[in-house]
Structure 1
Amino acid sequence: MPTYVEWYYPDENIWGYDELDDERWSTRHIEVRAQDETFAAAASLAEVLHARDSGDPGAVIAYEHKYGIIPDAPFPTATAEDEPSIEPIPAEKFERLWQQGRQAREKLYGHPRG
Structure 2
Amino acid sequence: MAEEDLWCYDELDAAQWSLRHVEQREQDDVFMAAASLSETLHARDTGGFEAVRDYMGFYGVSPEAPLDFPPEFAVEEITADEFELIWSAARAARESGWGVRPL
- What is the TM-score normalised by the length of structure 2? 0.86
> Which residue does the alignment assign to 2:101?
none
Alignment of 1:38-53 (within 5 A): 38-53=30-45
Q: Percent identical across equivalent pairs?
A: 49
Q: In the alignment, what sits opposite 2:81?
A: 92
* Two-structure CA RMSD over aligned residues (Å): 1.5
Q: What are the ranges of 5 or more consecutive residues in structure 1 without an aligned counterpart?
A: 1-10, 110-114
Structure 2 unpaired stretches of 5+: 99-103
Say whether residues 1:103 and 2:95 are aligned partners.
no
Deviations 1:36-75 (A, max 9, x none): 0111000000000000001343100000000000011111
Give the helix-richer structure, 1 or 2.
2
Code of the residue aligned with 2:19 in structure 1: it is T
After TM superposition, which residue ranges in structure 1, 4 or more long, deviate above 4 angstroms? none
Q: Give the whole-Å Cα distance in 1 for the aligned partners of 2:31 and 2:46.
A: 26
